Each structure stands twice: as structure tokens, then as C-alpha cells.
Amino acid sequence: MELIKQGAEAKLWKDGELLIKDRIKKNYRIDEIDSKLRKTRTRKEAKLLEKSHNLINVPKLHNVDEKSMTLTMEFVHGELVKNVFDELNERVRMNLCADMGKQIAELHNNNIIHGDLTTSNMILNKDKLFLFDFGLGFESLRIEDKAVDLHLLKQAFESKHYLHSEKAFDNVLRGYSAKGDKNVIERLKKVEGRGRYK
Ligand SMILES: Nc1ncnc2c1ncn2[C@@H]1O[C@H](COP(=O)(O)OP(=O)(O)OP(=O)(O)O)[C@@H](O)[C@H]1O
Ligand SMILES: [Mg+2]
């Protein structure tokens, strides 16, 4: 097994074609709270991965071990979108963004909120886009929650890919509109207004 990443919340191991996400103990948290939090996040991430697998491209879940708070899933080959986004050919990048929008809309249509939409939580496998890291995700019917989910992606573009952020996000919305609820996009404008004037 090879340690591929020590994330903020977890250690990620590669074991052949499998990826093992091991939620680590946080020493600054009280033991009891820490283990509850890790358990809930592991459980929630597993549930959302399973639900999403029928809708969009996410790693296939193989196993959940609630005792060790470990998820075993498919290892997705390819590049982290964050690392290639700015270098992609313009047309390819815009199509990728539209695809992001479509996949997010598909999740939202099924009341799944990702909760942490950034290019660090996406992998480009050839020309196939995968979303992962549902640890902050949840289920909700609320238009507001869906709008905020999109708003977080916009903010991630602005901070990580500022050269392309505007056009890129326009294309996310183009993809989203094709599949999703227009009311969410309307609400997004209000969410943005609030951010600017508060
Ligand atoms: N199924 C997978 N296949 C391939 N690589 C993966 C997979 N899941 C996670 N990774 C890699 O591990 C990294 C961290 O995974 P993840 O985002 O799920 O954990 P995290 O604790 O949120 O970490 P971070 O704080 O870095 O976001 C990803 O950025 C990616 O490079
Ligand atoms: Mg992550």
C-alpha cells in the first residue's frame, strides 16, 4: 500500500486499483466528539457515493468499515482537475465546465448536495470527469442549499483559476441549465448579491 495523500481529514492509500480513505483522529477534538464526527462523515460519504454512482461519475464504493472509519473505493486514474484546469485548451476547458454543470445538476435533481465543490475534488480521466470527496455532502430539497453548492464552486474558481473563472463558471451554468432547475440559478444570483453587500 502506498500513501498518496495526507489530507485535512483523512489519509488516502492506494492499494492496486483500490483507494482507501482512512479518517484520522484529530487530537484537538475531544475523543468522543472526534469519533462521532468521523463515524458520521464516513457513513454519510459512503451513502452519498452509493446514491451518486447511479447518477454521475463517482468512484465505485467497495467497502465501508465503520469500526476503523475507512472507505474502500475504486481508484480513479487521471489528473486532478485543479492541476490541469488552467493548461487545458480553451474549448476543452469550457466543455469540461459544462459537464461539471450537468453532473452537479444531476446530483441536485436527486437532492444530493456535494458540499465541497472544488477542482481539488474532481479527477479528469481521459475525457471523463469524476467527482468525489462527499465528506461534507448532505441531502436536501432546498433551492438555497443547491445555490450555495454552486456558489462554492464559483468561489473556488475565483481563488484557484482566476484567469478563467468567469467564462468557466458561465459554462458550468450552461451545463446546469440544460439539466437542472432554473430556480437554483435564479437563487444563485441572490446568494451572490448577499455575499457582495453584507
Ligand atoms: N477514488 C480516488 N481515486 C484516485 N484518487 C483519489 C480518490 N479519492 C481521493 N483521491 C486523491 O486523494 C486526495 C484527497 O482525497 P479527498 O479529497 O477525498 O480527501 P480530503 O480529506 O478531503 O483531502 P483534502 O483535504 O486534500 O481535500 C484527492 O485530492 C485525490 O488526489
Ligand atoms: Mg478533498
pLDDT tens digits, one per residue of 113-155: 999 999 999 999 999 999 999 999 999 999 999 999 999 999 9
pLDDT tens digits, one per residue of 69-92: 999 999 999 999 999 999 999 999
Q: What are phi and psi of 53, to 5 degrees?
A: -60, -30
What pTM did the predictor assign? 0.94
Q: Do domains 2-74 and 79-197 have the same CATH topology?
A: no
Q: Which CATH number fits domain 2-74: 3.40.50.20, 3.30.200.20, 3.30.565.10, 3.40.50.2000?
A: 3.30.200.20
Q: How far is the CA of 124 from the centre of ligand 2 (A)?
A: 15
Q: How far is the CA of 194 from the centre of ligand 1 (A)?
A: 31
- Give the pLDDT score at 120: 96
Q: Which secondary structure element, helix H or strand E, spans residue 64, and what is its range?
A: strand 61-65
Which atom of ligand 1 is the closest one to the Cα of 80?
A: 31
d(CA 103, CA 160): 21
- For residue 6, the SS3 value is strand
Q: Reply yes or no on whether the pLDDT at 161 is more than 60.
A: yes
Mean pLDDT of 90-95: 98
Is 181 tagged catalytic? no
Q: How far is the CA of 198 from the centre of ligand 1 (A)?
A: 33
Q: Which secondary structure element, helix H or strand E, spans residue 132, and what is its range?
A: none
Q: Which fold has domain 79-197?
A: Transferase(Phosphotransferase); domain 1 (1.10.510)
Of 122 and 68, the structure prediction assigns the larger pLDDT to 122
- Which ligand number lies closest to the CA of residue 133? 1
Q: Reply yes or no on whether the pLDDT at 62 is more than 80.
A: yes
Which atom of ligand 1 is the closest one to the Cα of 7?
A: 23
d(CA 47, CA 50): 5
What does the domain layout of the chain look like in residue ranges? 2-74, 79-197
Give the residue among 184, 192, 185, 37 at the shortest CA–CA distance from 111: 184
Whether residue 48 contacts residue 71, with contact meaning beta carbons closer than 8 Å, is answered with no
